[in-house]
A and B are shown apart, each in its own frame.
Chain A
Amino acid sequence: MTNDRMTTYRTSCLPMAVCLAMLPSVASIQTSRQTIRMIQPRMVKIFGAGGIRGLHAYGTGFLVSPKGHIATVWSHVLDADSITVVLNDGRRFQARVLGAKPQLDLAVLKLQAENVELSYFDIEQTASVGPGTRILAFSNMFNVATGDEPVSVLHGVIAARTNLSTRRGTFEIPYDGPIYVVDAITNNSGAAGGVLTTQDGQLLAMIGKELRNARSNTWVNYAIPIGELKEAIKQITNGNFVAHKKKPDETEIPVRYHPLDFGLVMVPDVLYRTPAYVDSVLPNSQAARAGLRSDDLVLFVNDELIQSCRTLKVALGRLESGDALRLIVRRANQLVQIKMNVKK
């Protein structure tokens, strides 16, 4: 692979003569149209529960083994007695849920059929790419593809590689690992469980559920890198069923510390977003010794942006004794850094 890339690259940038000389290796990369023809047979449409209260009864999945194992997203569509899976060529099968891992928003199905011809993804063969990389997205979005029609294909680029966990309170899904954000409108009804590939067909990620970014009030188009799902998929296909249990809510975390514990008196929290101004600092308190002053505006607690008194309380509440506490405050037009230690 490596060499291929290199040669490919070289041919594209050296004068004609060389280019011709390299033709065979050039041929080894394929156009997105060829890729699409290669990928389509590995995609399946899933039909299960739903169809009421605006819940769609269809979804997408992709084959990950010659035996008919299908990876898809863990969703309401799957909690039905009978799940129908329609292959790219229109063949229709029953399938059952083999196992699921809600933390990853992942489920694996198994076709109820023996020795059928199936093409599938080799989940060991996956790529990892950066922003600007061209991608193709395959999914049964809006369920427009019926019968033996292949699923819908969108094109785009990787917009960003980021981490859901770094944006606490922004997203409401169990999964909090790394994601690819794409600039195609991939995350539509029924699209979850589809895949992203590079334009030359390397498997990148599984398209996630529809999701709103609570901070920017926009829909996010994202996918979970296969690297994150690989182990779980293998576990489940090998029959080590993973029971699915909800993970604890952020809100259940006990509030351990308050601003006062450090000698900080904040301005009264009247607005929805009262800026975290220090009203006064208790004399010879820890904060005073560390050099905090009244009218300082607290901007960061250990690199987490503090947008209001409210978020400050949450951030301090989360601290544990012994933690280092690094504050960045705005004083006039200067940013000042303040270090303290969290005591018992």
Chain B
Amino acid sequence: MPRKMFYVIVVVTHIGAFATSDVCAVDPAVFEAQQRRVAVVQRIAPTVVAIFARGAAGSGSGVLISADGFALTNFHVTSSVGAFMKCGLNDGVLHDAVIVGIDPTGDVALIKLLGRDDFPHAKLGDSDKLQVGNWAYAMGNPFMLATNFQPTVTFGIISGLHRYQYPTGTFLEYADCIQVDTSINPGNSGGPLFNEAGELIGINGRGSFEKRGRVNSGAGYAISINQIKHFMDCLRGGRIVDHATLGATVTENVEGLVVVDNILEQSEVYRRGLRVDDEIVSFAGRSIRSVNQFKNILAIYPKYRKLPLVYRNEGKKEKIYVRLRGLHRSSEMTPQRRRSRTIPKPEDPDRKKPSNKNPNGKDPDRKQPNRFFPAASNLPENHKHLYVKKEGFANYYFNTLEQQRTLTALKELGDFSQRIGIWSFSGTIQAGYKFEFTLADKGLGLEIGDDVYFQPLDGSNFTDEPERSGGLLLALYHLKLFLTRGDAVFTEFYYLGSEPLDGHGEKVDVIVTLLTGVESRWYFSRKRKMFVGFDTRLESDIDECEIRFAGSQTFDGRKLPQQLIVRCANRKFASFDLETVNLAVAPPKSSRTDRNDQ
């Protein structure tokens, strides 16, 4: 009450004051806050992109995140505009842009604007630091209002965090997302959500529109920037990035604990010891108190990512590292044979229906039957070379770039290309035993003390030799192939992205190779630009042989590690200290045949 009275008086006094000046006397603090906001908007507006399909057929929004033109938007925006698009910036200039990578499940796409190397770009924020009630700006091109490429700026608060939104069809799952009351409307899709300081905290992609058709009704949803960070390098690699599953599903039991209710026996997590009814304590370092939290965490990491998991089995706590499996079969990720799966039935009363629509309206599943391989029709002549079509990739051109960048580290080691003869390494293992590896084209051998292990290469099955090493012999053979023949010999050879080594180590770039069903992942330290190790898996759903390098020494001009540390199934197998190494050039006979071949 007193408050009200007092308010009235203020007004009265002021109306008095108006006689002299016809504006309100406003506290400078208010002006300054306003000025700060205006300044922030002016600073970040130039990073906002208005995306148009050619001929202004469709439209959406995006945001620049690097000076050389990389920009984020929604997958469901790019899927409707094609491999190349037109992007307007608020300086009035229209740029060509090309698709780079897509994450259909997370509804994220990375594109690259062309024509400048000094684009204004947004600073990435930390969406885990957000609190409900924080102010947030949304910017973009709702209802295609930005005819002069000036974005629409709306201002509101964070209404909720770590929200989970069920997928529409197989894709477009909004997990761990940010809910805002900032007005999000059709066309805001792909546009940035900024915090009060003007840092990018999310990509707007959805709203609860059921009430009034295609108009904001108080709830908009943004994909958190921290989720996107996990995918960023995969996207830069021009890939169609898949999300992940653990191989186990969870439920809330009567005590409200989150426990395993279903587990795949071929899954790595099963081999690590997780069983039905075990309690999930924490996952990726976040403690788990609800099924949604579990889903949220799972959904913010790409396929293959290695994560720590803490579970409790009969009171006993176990911490393990597990590499996540793909959420979709590769057939699902390629358009022609894509099956649309039904949405999982939510199990508890406390749930939501997947009723939300993405703000650019079109349900991509229906409108864009073949949206992974955009129409090549719209390639502008001068930029054609920036788009290379390849199954499994949004734009393979960018993968080749990342391969080149990553593989420069190999040149450091010297030229192995001529050393295609027999390789032999010898030295001692910790236990003091002597060892010798022999890698020939006919077969692979290892002697440790009196024990001998052999893996023939006559087409017979690959075996776990030596036992419990995960196939160390074959792994070293793949190393030889990788160093001597490079991408020429493998049936698949591509840049995967980056990840923390072994789930907790330094950031490494990952190259994946495939040959006769044997998959290897090659790790390169991003910071030290060094080849630091690799994993080789004889066949899917068995534990892989993990080899890490330590130290470095030179044998006739070629750098090799001092030590190979070999692990398998979360256990150390052995570490080999290399003392003598012999890398033979091609034997004369075969070299003659070589000549004949030429």
- Closest-CB distance, A26 to chain B (whole angstroms): 13
Give the segment of B216-224, B330-338, B447-455 that binds chain A. Answer: B216-224
Q: Is there contact, CB below 8 Å, between A92 and B352?
A: no
Chain A residues with CB under 8 Å of B211's CB are 188-189, 210, 219
| Stretch among B2-10, B94-102, B517-525, B572-580 lining the A interface | B2-10
Would A141 and B131 be within 8 Å (CB), given that A146-B290, A146-B292 are in contact? no
Assess the B351–A143 pair: CB atoms within 8 A.
yes
Contacts of B233 in A (CB 8 A): none
B residues 200-255 in Cβ contact with A at 8 Å: 208, 210-212, 216-219, 252
Q: B171 at the A/B interface (Cβ < 8 Å)?
A: no
Q: Which residues of A contact B163 (CB under 8 A)?
A: 144-145, 149
B160 touches A152 (CB 8 A): yes
Q: A92-B256, A154-B218 are in contact. Are A147 and B293 (CB under 8 A)?
A: yes
Given A6-B6, A143-B351, A149 contacting B160 (CB threshold 8 A): yes
B297 within 8 A of A: no
The reply to whether A47 and B350 contact each other, CB–CB distance below 8 Å, is yes
Instruction: Assess whether B160 is in contact with A148, with CB atoms less than 8 Å apart.
Output: no
Q: Are A128 and B293 closer than 8 Å at their CB atoms? A: no
Beta-carbon contact of A144 and B352 below 8 Å? yes
Is residue A86 within 8 Å, beta carbon to beta carbon, of the partner chain?
A: yes
A31 to B133, CA, bound (A): 9
Q: Smallest CB–CB gap between B423 and chain A, Å?
A: 56
Whether a CB of chain A sits under 8 angstroms from the CB of B36 is no
Q: Please name all residues of chain A whose beta carbon is closer than 8 Å to the beta carbon of B2 when the two chains form the complex.
A: 1-2, 5-6
Contact of B350 among A84, A130, A153 (CB under 8 A): A84
Query: B27 in the interface, Cβ–Cβ < 8 Å?
Result: yes
Is A90 located at the chain interface by the 8 A CB criterion? yes
Interface mask (A165-209 → B, CB under 8 Å = 1, otherwise 0): 000000000000000000011101100000000000000000000
Q: Would you give the 0/1 interface string for A44-71, flagging 1 where the beta carbon is closer than 8 Å to chain B?
A: 0101000000000100000000000000
Within 8 A of A (CB), among B1-19: 1-4, 6-7
Please report the C-alpha to C-alpha distance between residue A111 and residue B219 in the assembled complex, in whole angstroms.
29
Contacts of A9 in B (CB 8 A): 6
A37 to B163 Cα, complex, angstroms: 17
Known contacts A45-B350, A84-B349; A33 and B131 CB within 8 A of each other: yes
1/0 per position for A289-328, CB-CB distance to B under 8 A?
Answer: 0000000000000000000000000000000000000000
Find chain B residues with CB under 8 A from A1 CB. Answer: 2
CB of B181 closer than 8 Å to a CB of A? yes
Partner of A188, one of B4, B162, B218: B218
- Interface status of B289 (Cβ within 8 A of chain A): yes
A260→B164 CA distance, assembly (Å): 65
- Assuming A5-B3, A33-B134, A154-B159, is B208 touching A147 (CB within 8 A)? no
What is the minimal beta-carbon distance from B578 to any residue of chain A, in angstroms?
53
The number of chain A residues with a CB under 8 A from chain B is 48
Q: Among residues 72 to 122 in chain B, which have CB atoms less than 8 Å away from a CB atom of chain A?
A: none
Residue of A nearest to B356 (CB): A142
Report how far A142 CA is from B216 CA in the complex, Å.
13
Q: Within residues 199 to 237 of chain A, which ones have a CB less than 8 A from any CB in chain B? A: 210, 219
Q: Which residues of A contact B181 (CB under 8 A)?
A: 152-155, 184-185
Minimum Cβ distance to chain B for residue A16 (Å)? 12
Q: Is A32 an interface residue, CB under 8 A from the partner?
A: yes
Chain A residues, Cβ within 8 Å of B3: 5, 127, 129
Does B429 have its Cβ within 8 Å of any Cβ on chain A?
no
Q: Decide yes or no whether A253 CB sits under 8 A from chain B.
A: no
Smallest CB separation, B274 vs chain A (Å): 22
B217 and A188: CB pair below 8 A? yes
User: Whole-angstrom distance between the alpha carbons of A163 and B186 in the complex?
Assistant: 34
Specify the chain B residue showing the minimal Cβ separation from A144. B163
Closest chain A residue to B252, Cβ basis:
A147
Q: Is B156 in the interface zone, CB < 8 Å from A?
A: yes
Type the 1/0 row for A16-34, where 1 means its CB is closer than 8 Å to any CB of B.
Answer: 0000000000000001110
Question: CB distance B157 to A13 under 8 Å?
Answer: no
Is A102 part of the binding interface, using a Cβ–Cβ cutoff of 8 Å? Answer: no
Q: Mark A115-150, 1 if CB is under 8 A from B, else 0.
A: 000000000000111100000100001111111111
Interface residue? A36 (CB, 8 A): yes
From B4, B293, B355, A129 is in contact (CB under 8 Å) with B4
Contacts of B131 in A (CB 8 A): 33
Q: Within 8 Å of chain A (Cβ to Cβ): is B360?
A: no
B residues contacting the other copy or chain, number (CB 8 A): 44
B350 touches A92 (CB 8 A): yes
A337 close to chain B: CB less than 8 A: no
Asked if A130 and B4 make an inter-chain contact with CB atoms under 8 angstroms apart, the answer reads yes
Q: Which residues of A contact B157 (CB under 8 A)?
A: 32, 153-155
| Residue contact A189 to B210, C-beta cutoff 8 Å | yes
Interface centre among A32, A90, A128, A152 (most CB of B within 10 A): A152
Interchain nearest-CB distance for B448 vs A (Å): 53
Complex Cα distance, B170 from A86, in Å, reads 30
CB distance from A209 to the nearest CB of B (A): 13
CB within 8 A of A128: which of B1, B160, B355?
A: B1
Closest B residue to A218 using CB positions: B212
Report the bound CA distance from A219 to B133 in whole Å. 25
**A12 interface hit (Cβ, 8 Å):** yes
Q: State whether B219 touches A141 (Cβ < 8 A).
A: yes
The answer to the question of B59 belonging to the interface, with a C-beta cut-off of 8 Å to chain A, is: no
A149–B292 contact, CB under 8 A? yes
- Any chain A CB within 8 A of the CB of B67? no
B179 near A144 (CB under 8 angstroms)? yes
Question: Is B584 positioned at the interface, with any CB of A under 8 Å from its CB?
Answer: no
**Mask of B160-172 contacts with A, CB within 8 angstroms, 1/0:** 1011110000000
Partner of A184, one of B29, B218, B289: B218
Set of chain B residues within 8 Å of A129, measured between Cβ atoms: 3-4
The yes or no answer to B530 lying at the interface (CB within 8 A) is: no
Minimum CB–CB distance from B564 to chain A (whole Å) comes to 46
> Does B153 reach chain A (CB closer than 8 Å)?
no
B350 near A150: Cβ-Cβ < 8 Å: no
How far is A147 from B212 in the complex, measured between Cα atoms in Å?
27
Instruction: Tell me if A147 and B179 are in contact (CB < 8 A).
Output: no
In the bound complex, residues from chain B placing their C-beta under 8 Å from that of A33 are 131-134
- B291 lies within 8 A of chain A by Cβ: yes
Kindly report which residue of chain B lies nearest to residue A51, judged by CB atoms.
B353
Distance, CA A92 to CA B349, complexed state (A)? 11
Q: Contacts A185-B216, A188-B219, A210-B211 given: A146-B289 contact, CB under 8 Å?
A: no
Pick the contact of B291: A13, A147, A184 (CB < 8 A). A147
The complex places the Cα of A130 from the Cα of B6 at a distance, in Å, of 12
Chain A residues with Cβ below 8 Å from B292 are 146-147, 149
Chain A residues numbered 98-124 whose CB sits less than 8 Å from any CB in chain B: none
Chain A residues with Cβ below 8 Å from B210 are: 142, 189
Within 8 A of A (CB), among B116-157: 131-134, 156-157
Q: What's the nearest-Cβ distance from chain B to residue A336, in Å?
A: 33
CB distance from A80 to the nearest CB of B (A): 11
Least CB distance, B280 to chain A, in whole angstroms? 14
Contact of A144 among B134, B212, B219, B289 (CB under 8 A): B219
**Is the pair B133, A32 in contact by a Cβ cutoff of 8 Å?**
yes
Cβ–Cβ contact B159 & A86, under 8 A: no
What is the chain A residue whose CB lies nearest that of B256?
Answer: A90
Q: Which residues of B contact A92 (CB under 8 A)?
A: 256, 350
| Cβ-closest chain B residue relative to A13 | B27
| Contact residues in B for A155 (Cβ distance below 8 Å) | 133, 156-157, 181
Q: A144-B179, A147-B291, A147-B350 are in contact. Are A153 and B218 (CB under 8 A)?
A: no
Closest 4 A-B residue pairs measured CB to CB? A185-B218, A147-B290, A33-B133, A2-B2
18 A-B pairs within 8 Å (CB atoms) are namely A33-B134, A36-B133, A84-B349, A90-B289, A143-B351, A144-B165, A144-B352, A146-B352, A147-B252, A147-B350, A149-B290, A152-B159, A153-B160, A155-B133, A155-B181, A184-B218, A185-B216, A188-B208
B residues with a Cβ closer than 8 A to A are 1-4, 6-7, 27, 29, 131-134, 156-160, 162-165, 179, 181, 208, 210-212, 216-219, 252, 256, 289-293, 349-352, 355-356
Question: Apart from A144-B352, A155-B156, what are 8 other A-B pairs with CB-CB below 8 Å?
Answer: A32-B133, A40-B132, A146-B164, A146-B350, A148-B289, A152-B160, A152-B219, A184-B181
